[in-house]
Structure formats: structure tokens, C-alpha cells
């Protein structure tokens, strides 16, 4: 859930908060409409339909989820995996709730809100509230799906940054640094640079008096030459 790295969040904040705002409006609208319907149903002695119970659960879970994720994104970082998992669950719940609601309403979803269909002003108001409930449920379903897509993109972006190789790490000395002594020192000797033993100084053996040419050996060049 938490992303403690100092790297900036991979979520586009404008898109994130815009979708969260849409979810907030939908969840509050659904809870308000359902509260009105349930109040009158309980007054008349009816039980709560399971479609309304599922919509209440989806709205409450959405409000809790957007509160937690918004705080985490602003304060200590938010993992795209957390958003991906929970918004996928919310999408499933909203999709099932929307399908059950449309099935229970039947032709009411497509009927016009007129006195011919609903009798009076109270019936027309109820018709508009039902249609608003369907619309908010549908928009909430789409917003959860859009948030899932945003979380997938953010997770891929995070993975790309995580496995990006570092260029010229500071703990590796380059050849130039080695030759320059790392900051103003004298240039190391050939043996010191490559970890070998120091090369002994060049020497000249005693001259021979048998008439042969005198040999000299250079320890630095590893070759024998004649004078």
C-alpha cells in the first residue's frame, strides 16, 4: 500500500483526483437517493431490497477507498498495486449492482417521467430519482474501470523506473580518475596502478672482455639489445 521511495508518484494526480471526484459525487448521490427510498419503504413496512443493500455497500466502500487512497497519495505515497486490486473489486461490485438495479426496474428505465406513466407530481419525482440512481450507478462503474486502467499504466511506469540501469555510478572509478589519482594526487606508478610488484630499476651488467658485443638489459622494456 505504501510507497516509501523518494521517487515522485507514478500516478497522474490530475486524472487521479478527477476520477475520485466523479466517484465521490456518484457515491454520495446514490446514498442520498437510497436513503429517501428506504425511509418510505420502512415507513410502509417493506423490507430492504437486496439491490439497494448492494448499492449501499458499493457506495460506502467507494467513499472509504477514495478517502484512504487520496490521503496516502498526498502524504506518503501510494502503490499502484493497491489501487489496482481494490478498484477492480469496486468495479465488480458496481457492475453487479447496476445490472441488478436495471433488471429490477425493467421498463421503468426507458419510460418517460410523465403524468400518463406516473400519475402525479410525486410519481414524476420518484421517476426522476430512479433514473438518477441508474445513471449514477453506471457512471460509478465506468469511473472504477477508468481508475483500474490508470493503475495499470502507473504500475508499468513504476516498473520501468525501477529496473532502469544507472548511468556512471559514483562508486566506480573510471580510468581517468585512476590515472589522475582521484583528485589532484600524483600519477601512480605502473606497478601500483595494476596491482603488480614494482618494476626493478634498469641495470647494466659488467662488460665482458672476450671480444663479444656488450649486452644491456632493460627491465622496463623487457628486451635485450646489443651495443
181-213 pLDDT tens trace: 444 444 454 444 444 445 455 545 555 555 554
Average the pLDDT over 40-69 and give the result. 92
| pLDDT tens string 29-46 | 999 999 999 999 998 888
pLDDT at 1 over 80: no
DSSP label of 204: -
- For residue 162, give Cα distances in angstroms to 5, 68, 73, 153: 11, 25, 19, 14
Residues 6+ apart with CB under 8 A from 149: none
More confident: 148 or 8: 148
| pLDDT tens string 114-153 | 888 888 888 889 889 999 999 999 999 999 999 999 999 9
Q: What pLDDT shows up at residue 195? A: 47
Q: What pLDDT shows up at residue 205? A: 53
Comparing 12-16, 54-58, 132-136, 163-167, which segment has the lowest mean pLDDT?
A: 163-167
Among all chains, which residue has been given the C-alpha cell 490508470?
150
Q: What pLDDT shows up at residue 208? A: 52
Whole-prediction pTM value?
0.65
The span from the CA of 88 to the CA of 157, in Å, is 19
CB 58 within 8 A of CB 86: no
Q: What pLDDT shows up at residue 157? A: 82
pLDDT at 9 over 70: no
pLDDT interval class at 105 (50, 70, 90)? confident
- Helices 50-75 and 13-43 meet at what angle, rounded to 10? 150
Q: What pLDDT shows up at residue 161? A: 60
More confident: 133 or 162: 133
Concatenated DSSP letters of 33-86:
HHHHHHHHHHHTTPPPPHHHHHHHHHHHHHHHHHHHHHHHHHHT---HHHHHHH
4: Cα separation from own chain's centroid: 12
Percentage of the residues of the chain whose pLDDT score is greater than 70? 66
The CA-based diameter of the chain, rounded to the nearest angstrom, is 138
Amino acid at each position: 500500500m505504501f510507497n516509501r521511495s523518494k521517487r515522485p508518484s507514478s500516478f497522474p494526480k490530475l486524472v487521479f483526483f478527477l476520477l475520485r471526484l466523479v466517484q465521490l459525487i456518484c457515491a454520495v448521490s446514490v446514498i442520498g437517493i437510497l436513503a429517501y427510498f428506504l425511509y418510505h419503504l420502512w415507513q410502509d413496512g417493506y423490507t430492504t431490497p437486496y439491490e439497494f443493500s448492494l448499492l449501499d455497500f458499493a457506495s460506502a466502500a467507494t467513499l472509504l477507498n477514495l478517502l484512504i487512497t487520496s490521503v496516502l497519495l498526498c502524504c506518503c505515497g501510494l502503490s499502484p498495486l493497491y489501487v489496482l486490486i481494490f478498484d477492480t473489486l469496486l468495479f465488480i461490485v458496481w457492475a453487479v449492482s447496476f445490472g441488478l438495479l436495471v433488471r429490477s426496474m425493467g421498463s421503468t428505465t426507458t419510460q418517460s417521467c410523465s403524468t400518463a406513466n406516473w400519475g402525479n407530481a410525486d410519481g414524476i419525482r420518484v421517476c426522476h430519482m430512479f433514473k438518477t440512481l441508474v445513471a449514477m450507478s453506471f457512471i460509478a462503474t465506468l469511473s472504477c474501470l477508468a481508475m483500474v486502467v490508470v493503475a495499470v499504466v502507473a504500475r508499468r511506469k513504476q516498473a520501468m523506473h525501477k529496473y532502469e540501469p544507472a548511468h556512471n555510478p559514483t562508486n566506480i572509478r573510471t580510468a581517468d580518475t585512476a590515472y589522475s589519482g582521484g583528485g589532484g594526487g600524483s600519477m601512480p606508478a605502473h606497478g601500483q596502478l595494476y596491482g603488480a610488484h614494482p618494476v626493478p630499476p634498469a641495470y647494466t651488467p659488467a662488460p665482458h672482455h672476450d671480444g663479444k658485443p656488450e649486452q644491456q638489459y632493460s627491465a622496463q622494456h623487457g628486451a635485450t639489445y646489443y651495443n
